[in-house]
Structure 1
């Protein structure tokens, strides 16, 4: 198993950053890599329970991911499981993501811990996806 950790600084107060990762309307503005839309979702990161999104690329490719929100600790962290679905709808390997918000000198820091990925290739793919997604968040939050 492989783990991935990313950190990004945001020029906002931690409570504002937490709102952007927990409020569904805000979350949908940046969820998914650049070029993706999220027309289908059951996404509530304010309480524990199931979640699901379908991201669609500019080429029309569909990417279904789902899991369970395992914890919500406002204004500090949200944890959830993560599993991609194949074209037949079967859910694959499950990993775990924790989004943590900390105060920083410049405002707030978001830490993404994505654990229990299958291998380094999957971690590299997720790194690229998360980095693109964080770029979208920075553009929205400023």
Structure 2
């Protein structure tokens, strides 16, 4: 198993940043790597329970991921399980994501902690996807 940890600073207060990482309507504005849109989902990290999203690229390829929101502690953190689906909609190996928001001198800091990924290749792929998604979030929080 391998882990990925990313940290970003945002020029907004903790409550505002927490809303961006928990509210479904706000999540949709940055969820998924650049060039992807989300045609189908039930994203809402403001409550515990199941969630899923289908991301689609410009060529029409779709990628489904789902899990369960395990904890919500506004405005500090939200945690959820994460598992990709294959072409037959079978859910694969499960990992866990925690988004932690703290106040910082510039506004607030987001720590994305994605744990229990299968291997170094999975870490590299998730690093690329999350980094791209976080660039979209940074554009929203200016």
- The answer to whether 1:97 aligns with 2:97 is yes
3-state secondary structure, aligned to 1:130: helix
Give the aligned partner of residue 65 of structure 1: 65
TM-score, scaled relative to structure 2 = 0.99
Give the aligned partner of residue 137 of structure 1: 137
CA distance in 2, matches of 1:73, 1:39: 28
Q: CA deviation at 1:42?
A: 1.0
3-state secondary structure, aligned to 2:126: helix
- The answer to whether 1:16 aligns with 2:19 is no
3-state secondary structure, aligned to 1:67: strand
CA distance in 2, matches of 1:16, 1:42: 21
Q: CA deviation at 1:104?
A: 0.7
Q: CA deviation at 1:91?
A: 0.3
Alignment coverage as a number of residue pairs? 142
3-state secondary structure, aligned to 1:138: helix
Moved over 3 A (4+): none
Give the aligned partner of residue 35 of structure 2: 35
CA distance in 1, matches of 2:83, 2:92: 6
- Tell me, which stretches of 5 or more residues in structure 1 are unaligned? none
1:95-125: CA deviations, max 9, x gaps?
Answer: 0000000111110000000000000000000
CA distance in 2, matches of 1:9, 1:141: 10
Give the aligned partner of residue 82 of structure 2: 82
Q: Provide the alpha-carbon RMSD of the alignment.
A: 0.5
Give the aligned partner of residue 50 of structure 1: 50
3-state secondary structure, aligned to 2:38: strand
